[in-house]
Amino acid sequence: MADYLRAPTMSGSRASSSGGSPAPALSHSGSLTPTAPRSRTRSVAVTGATGFLGSNLIGSLEEDDRVGRIVAIDATPLAGAGKKTRSYEVDLTQPSAEARIAEILAADRVDTIAHLAFLPEPTHATAWAHELESLGTMHVTVAARQAQVRKLVLWSQTWLYGAHPSNPNFLTEKHPLRAPRSEPFFTDKIEAEEQARKLAQRSPGTVVTILRTAPILGPTVHNAFTRYLAHRVVPTMMGFDPLVQFLHEVDAISALHLSVVRDVPGTFNIVGDGVLPLSTVVKLAGRIALPVPHPLARTMTALGWVAQLVQAPPTFLKYLRFLCVADGRKARESLGFAPAYTSREALLDFVNAQRLREVKLLAENAT
């Protein structure tokens, strides 16, 4: 609550930035800013603000004139935020989060929420992850309805399509989400998507944009795939060499930014151009591929996961065997998103940073 009380004084001079919304009480400060021709600026709330995507999205929104105010919501305070940003500490796993968020959204006249509070890699704390991702999304969507927020942008992943030998080479947004339902990492995210769609149905005026990103690679990001490529010896499935695609971190952030400032409802695959066979990926990364027969790999990984020796449960092994590549044409046509990096370039950028990190030329960023 202390944060909440402090916040208005912090950004008192920026109060005009929410001037787009009808706020007669604040209108006197509107004359302070000379940018009169701008009819309306947005007030954007970002959940998961201290995560990779959250903090970078806030950074890029800070520089956008179309965004007047940024509300950062996370369980831990956001360090080094810009002038437009107000930071609130809300733990989405708490039952009280709903009321708290609704209160914040109303107080700051938020019109757009970017909901990015999702885990980028699997965790053993599945119960907590479920509370955060599935129920956290529920809290956010309900609060959004209460505060009559105009738009919700949800981060999702193409992994949710699942890797199957029967997948077409390019999965479109119409394809059902067939990720293994036994894996909470995927199930929670699928449930989150369903809740976002439910919000779109229940309140037709709300724009709901779901961005399904391909595995994100880049110099600074950390997720399940960067962990996979971090080791010197990388296990692959013997006899399988699926095509994979990546998205550069810069493109991921620019796609989120685009969907915040443009009102395009719908689900979009956000992917880099081109595909690479996994074997080429491993070689470009300068790793040694260790081909393991897949039945053996499954038991080993299952044991390793229980013993907390490996970073991913055995359900992820399917992605090393079968295709899970999405088609980004819809995002290009409707959202106007064009990736700056191809899959290959994203990988090489990650690999270069990784090399610098290995010789201690690049500091490991704390995430």
Partner 1 sequence: MTTKVPPESGSESLGPEDREADGPDASVLLLQSEGTDAPPTRPLAQPGALLVDDDEEEAADDDTPREGVVDRPSDPDVAARIRELEERLDRMIGEHARGRDAEDGTSLAVRSPPRATPSTRRSARPPDPEGALDAARDLRSSEFYLQKWGRLGLRNRSEEVDEFGYDPVYERKVLPLFDFLYEKYFRVEVHGVERVPAEGRCLLVANHSGTLPFDGMMLRRAVRREHPKHREVRWLAEDGIFHFPFLGSFTNRVGAVRACQENAERLLEQDALVAVFPEGVKGIAKLFKERYRLQRFGRGGFVKLGLRTRTPVVPVAIVGGEEANPMLSRIDYLTRAFGIPYLPVTPTFPWLGPLGLLPAPTKWKIFFGQPIDLQGYGAGSVDDELLVGRLTEQVRAEIQQTLDRALGDRRSVWFG
Q: Which residues bind partner 1 (CB under 8 A)?
A: 165-170, 172, 232, 237-243, 274-277, 279-280, 283-284, 286-288, 293-294, 322-323, 344
Q: Which residues lie below 8 Å from residue 54, measured CB to CB, with a gap of 6+?
A: 46, 47, 48, 72, 74, 114, 116, 117
Helix (H, G, I), strand (E, B) or coil at 339: coil
Task: Specify the residue, 153 or 229, whose C-beta has the smaller distance to partner 1.
Answer: 229
Structure tokens at 321: 């065997």
In angstroms, the CA 223 to CA 227 distance is: 6
Least spacing, CB of residue 187 vs partner 1, in Å: 24
Nearest one of 133, 269, 125, 144 to 191, comparing CA atoms:
133
Nearest one of 124, 251, 242, 115 to 189, comparing CA atoms:
115
Task: Specify the residue, 101 or 275, whose C-beta has the smaller distance to partner 1.
Answer: 275
Task: Specify the residue, 52 or 350, whose C-beta has the smaller distance to partner 1.
Answer: 350
Task: Specify the residue, 106 or 300, whose C-beta has the smaller distance to partner 1.
Answer: 300
Task: Specify the residue, 113 or 271, whose C-beta has the smaller distance to partner 1.
Answer: 271
Task: Specify the residue, 265 or 274, whose C-beta has the smaller distance to partner 1.
Answer: 274
Least spacing, CB of residue 268 vs partner 1, in Å: 17
Least spacing, CB of residue 356 vs partner 1, in Å: 13
In angstroms, the CA 223 to CA 201 distance is: 32
In angstroms, the CA 253 to CA 33 distance is: 28
Least spacing, CB of residue 69 vs partner 1, in Å: 30
Structure tokens at 306: 């229980």
Kind and range of the H or E run holding 25? none
Alpha-carbon radius of gyration of the chain: 21
Least spacing, CB of residue 299 vs partner 1, in Å: 17
Least spacing, CB of residue 272 vs partner 1, in Å: 12
In angstroms, the CA 158 to CA 319 distance is: 11
Q: How would you classify residue 168: left for phi > 0, otherwise alpha for psi between -120 and 50, otherwise beta?
A: beta
In angstroms, the CA 112 to CA 152 distance is: 6
Task: Specify the residue, 207 or 323, whose C-beta has the smaller distance to partner 1.
Answer: 323
Burial string for 180-196 (b: 16+ CB within 10 Å, else e) reads eeebbbbbbbbbbbebb
Task: Specify the residue, 287 or 330, whose C-beta has the smaller distance to partner 1.
Answer: 287
Least spacing, CB of residue 324 vs partner 1, in Å: 13
Least spacing, CB of residue 16 vs partner 1, in Å: 27
Kind and range of the H or E run holding 68? strand 67-74
Task: Specify the residue, 70 or 271, whose C-beta has the smaller distance to partner 1.
Answer: 271
Structure tokens at 317: 């092994």
Least spacing, CB of residue 88 vs partner 1, in Å: 39
Number of other residues whose CB lies within 10 A of the CB of residue 293: 10
